[in-house]
Chains A and B, each alone.
Chain A
């Protein structure tokens, strides 16, 4: 059981380049989300999804797109990278179920540098 897998672990982009950060989970979780964490700061929510075909914006969505075509995958796209998007990106998933087992599981992060 791999949990939440993020790829790549490290990436350097030039300003204006585009790329997709991948996130996959094998726990059949309905809910998936993307956060960014800047140095010395807490995590901030970028986008989230409560199921395939459903996405919504979080606190800091500008400059990022997401889609959810399957339950397992939730990619994050940077359309035109900017230095302000230099950060560590975390993907998380959790169950929406009516029980109490709704803790979020996080991936190990993607460290992105935009130069």
Chain B
């Protein structure tokens, strides 16, 4: 599985957009980019995933560069409840479904 690199921590003002970057320069053609978050010590929560097109859902937007070597998760209007550790994971959509979690980015949304 391709490895990912994320900044260890970021701050964001409440109400502003939070842009969380992820580098995955060794991503393979059949690997998707997934984002999860973990609030406090709860179980990780799925946010969004994509292959090469930009994706948007009710929680966030995912922007994947054309060469697919990096991506950005965007929380358009961050709230205090978005304070969490955010994990960027790349893996193929196939038999097995294993996720490899790195240390992630600790996002602090400040009032």
Asked if A74 CB lies within 8 Å of chain B CBs, one says no
Asked if B97 CB lies within 8 Å of chain A CBs, one says yes
- Complex interface: chain B residues within 8 A of A109 (CB): 41-43
- Of A11-19, A60-68, A78-86, A99-107, which stretch is located at the interface? A99-107
User: Which residues of A16-47 are within 8 A (CB) of B?
Assistant: 31, 33, 35, 40-45
Identify which of A4, A35, A42, A100 contacts B93 (C-beta below 8 A).
Answer: A100
Asked if A108 and B102 sit within 8 Å, CB to CB, the answer is no
How many residues in A have their beta carbons less than 8 Å from beta carbons of B? 28
Interface of A is mostly: strand
- Of B18-26, B44-52, B63-71, B72-80, which stretch is located at the interface? B44-52
Asked if B101 and A44 sit within 8 Å, CB to CB, the answer is yes
A41 to B36, CA, bound (A): 15
- Complex interface: chain A residues within 8 A of B7 (CB): none
Asked if A102 and B43 sit within 8 Å, CB to CB, the answer is no
